[in-house]
Structure 1
Amino acid sequence: MSSGDQAGTITPEDTLPAGGTDGPETTAGAPAGKPRRRWLRITLISLLVLALVGVGGVVAGGFYLKSVESDIDRVDAFDGVPEESRPEVVVKGALNILILGSDSRDPESTGGSRADTIILAHVPKDRSGAQLVSIPRDTWVAVPRSKEGRGGRDAKINAAYAWGGLPLMVQTVEQYTKVRIDHVLMVDFGGFKEIIDALGGIDINSEKRFTSIHPPFRTFEQGKQRMDGATALDFSRQRKQFADGDFTRIRHQQQVIKAILDQAASGGVLANPAKLNSFVRATSSAVSVDKEMSLVDMAMELRGLRGNDLTFMTNPTKGTGRVGSESVVFEDKNKAATFYDAVRRDAVEEILSTGS
């Protein structure tokens, strides 16, 4: 996936899976379920920030990290984004990182240009933790007009990527949240299989027993279980068996991200050079970053963070419904305004108390 992935006359319906959230349709007022190279390049969702955060500063291989960074894919995330349209920086030193994910190996993938996972990661100025906010891909927002003349109307938020690549996606998220984005990370979640296998598997707690809709139709038991890469990736893709559809998929992705970070930061991985190197190399093919991001600096700044320091949240919503023929997610405008105002001001206690 790259900032140039755009189809000529593509529309949101062309790039997004049919059925929107795949959950039961409700009215706008109905409640919705709450939903390359070193450690940095792996996130689900959030993902990159997490992996980079957890392992990056623990290993004292500065030269190694620099060599990894020199080979990382770089993308034009802010090219063409009008400066006058961008929110102001409110708190210097706080970081807001946009994490975009696709799953090129998803059995339901329709191909084309899209962002299946959208996460706004806020790292406070004091680096005490990180809050990762998942924005459902079907959230109905105003999409600005791209320099090619696409957009300029309300649509599902991930239509912005189809219409104008990374710059329009950045502009859309900034316009929606009023939060200035400092960096962008792009992840191919299909690559998580190799990452998880390099770690020797991860532990996931399933909320209920259910069967995958994809071959080989695995059955996931309720409770804690060890998963290899293929199993964990399958778990993170499921949504049609759950009443709140895509919100469950978001929660499962968040679980996988946290489990990867916890496993990557464990003594067994850090103390085993071969396993650590396999992990780093596996992540290298799954991530791209913007041209200004320094993985070395980021790793050093975030070296103390672990899974327990991360809080996963979901964009405030009122529920799902329809706009014409499209199944969409409606934001809770009042709650969203209060929540993102706290993010702008780096008011962590307010972020935690107003988020969901």
Structure 2
Amino acid sequence: MADGGSRSGKRRWPKRVALSLLALVVLLAAYGTGLYFWAGSRLRTTDAFAAYEGRPERGKGTDWLLVGSDSRSSLTPEQRKKLHVGNDQGLNTDTIMVLHYGDSGPYLVSIPRDSYVSIPGHGKGKINSAYAIGGATLLTRTVEQATGLRIDHYAEVNFLGFVDVVDALGGVSICVPEGGLHDEKSGADFDGGCQHMDGVEALRYVRARYSDPEGDLGRVKRQRQLVSAVAEKAVSVPVLLPPWKLIPFLSASLDALTVDTDTGVGALTRMGLQMEGLSSGSGATTTVPVASEPEIAGVGDVVVWDQVKAGRLFEALRDDTPIPTSGAN
């Protein structure tokens, strides 16, 4: 009798395991589905695109315009003090990048905010002023006409968002070049070497430019460095698996994020995976080739693109072929 009961228990064991696994799969599916719809309900959108005569045709692959707004309206007085910023409520873009992916890539291309380009209906000026004049719609049109690329998606992170997203991740690891970075105006005070930074420290690091011999061009490199560090940690197992880590990170990201009306959670997820690929060594990052950095009366110091090299870069992105500056940082 005992031997028969033992055999019966052994026969039931695989069934119990199968049922347990099935229950786990159902729970995970429900958890994932719930997160998907929860995130979708939290997405903030804006009308980032408008039809206009002469808009570039769609190229191959997918192109995102990634923008970091330097609006300080949501910063507390204490945060302004920590970040060494004033009470300016103006709307400019501190970060402008194009992310491309398709059969080639991914490629992340920084557009210096002082790039001197034609702003539709407003003559020539610094590209970041397009946002201040006409918001996301004018900025996307300005970028499209300057690059010849048709932008598929738009994503904007506000100034405070950089701080909250990094803090929700528990900070990120940033490797500061030899010689360090010390900038009184941004509050950056870092020795060379890899180090852990919280949100305020990371933002100080990427905002510095006055003590950087490369000026704005050096800053865009640090911006890409931070974006890659955030993407790498965001898809790590310690963040993705525990709900008490994932949900606060998603909440902070969604609070900081604004996307175009046609962008949903699925597109954002695909974009995030491409960004993680960049941090893992896939594709390349670069800056629009620069010819000169003159001072123009009434405008100030500007960045003038090398039209020949920039043209080759944008042509490669349109055709979804390897960019000529692959491997540049």
Question: TM tier, shorter chain?
Answer: 0.7 to 0.9
Query: In the alignment, which residue of structure 2 is the partner of 1:32?
Result: none
TM score, norm. by length of structure 2: 0.79
Measure, in 1, the Cα distance between the counterparts of 2:167 and 2:204: 14
Q: 1:346 is matched with which residue? A: 320
Residue 90 of structure 1 deviates from its aligned partner by: 3.1
- More moved, 184-193 vs 101-110: 101-110
Deviates most, 160-169 or 279-288:
160-169
The range that moved more, 99-108 or 336-345, is 99-108
- 1:89 matched to 2:22: no
Give how far 1:187 is off.
0.9
**For 2:90, which of 99, 103, 112 is the aligned residue?**
112
Report what 2:301 is aligned to.
327
Distance 1:111 1:310, change over 3 A: farther
TM-score by length of 1: 0.74
The answer to whether 1:103 aligns with 2:77 is: no
Paired letter, 1:70: S
CA-to-partner distance for each residue in 1:219-263, whole Å, 9 max, x for gaps?
311111111222111111111111111112211111111111111
Measured after TM superposition, the shift of residue 351 of structure 1 is 4.6
Q: The residue matched to 2:323 in structure 1 has which SS?
A: helix
- C-alpha change, 1:185 and 1:212, in structure 2 (3 Å) is same
- Cα distance in 2 between the residues matched to 1:138 and 1:300: 30
Q: How many residues align?
A: 284
Out of 259, 277, 289, the residue aligned to residue 289 of structure 1 is 259
Q: Which has the higher contact order (CA 8 A, sep 6+)?
A: 1
Shift of the 239–297 alpha-carbon distance from structure 1 to 2, 3 Å rule, reads closer
Aligned partner of residue 248 in structure 1, secondary structure? helix
The residue aligned with 2:32 is: 61
Instruction: Single out whichever of 184-193 and 298-307 deviates more from structure 2.
Output: 298-307
Alignment of 1:148-227 (within 5 A): 151=122, 153-207=123-177, 208-214=179-185, 217=187, 219-227=189-197
Q: Does 1:121 align with 2:99?
A: yes
Question: Which protein is richer in helix relative to its size?
Answer: 2
Which stretches in structure 1 are left out of the alignment for 5+ residues? 1-58, 146-150
Preserved CA contact (<8 Å) 1:193 1:229? yes
Inter-partner Cα distance in structure 2 for 1:65 and 1:352: 37
Residue ranges of structure 2 left out of the alignment (5+ in a row):
1-29, 73-82
3-state DSSP class of the match of 1:285?
helix
Provide closer, same or farther for how the CA distance between residues 302 and 158 of structure 1 changes in structure 2, counting only shifts above 3 A.
closer
Q: In the alignment, which of 221, 225, 233 is matched to residue 263 of structure 1?
A: 233
Q: 2-side partners of 1:192 and 1:301: how far apart? A: 18
Matches within 5 A, 1:28-47: none
Contact conserved, 1:184 with 1:289, CA < 8 A, in 2?
yes
Structure 1 SS opposite 2:284: strand
Q: Distance in 2 between matches of 1:297 and 1:211?
A: 38
Q: Is the alpha carbon distance of 1:339 and 1:322 closer, same or farther for their aligned partners in structure 2, counting shifts above 3 Å? A: same
Distance 1:318 1:335 in 2: 9
Distance in 2 separating the partners of 1:144 and 1:218: 36
Is the 8 Å Cα contact of residues 231 and 272 (structure 2) preserved in structure 1?
A: no
Q: Distance in 1 between matches of 2:182 and 2:257?
A: 30
Identity across the alignment (%):
35
Question: Paired residue for 2:47, among 66, 69, 76?
Answer: 76
- CA contact 2:48–2:136 (8 Å) conserved in 1: yes
Q: How does 1:295-310 map to 2 (within 5 A)?
A: 295-299=265-269, 303=273, 305-306=276-277, 307-308=279-280, 309=282
- Note the C-alpha offset of 1:298: 4.2
Q: Cα distance, 1:209 vs. partner?
A: 2.2
* SS of 2:143 mapped into structure 1: helix
Question: Any conservation in 2 of the 1:138–1:328 contact (CA below 8 Å)?
Answer: yes
Q: CA deviation at 1:184?
A: 0.8
- Partners in 2 of 1:353 and 1:74 — Cα distance? 33
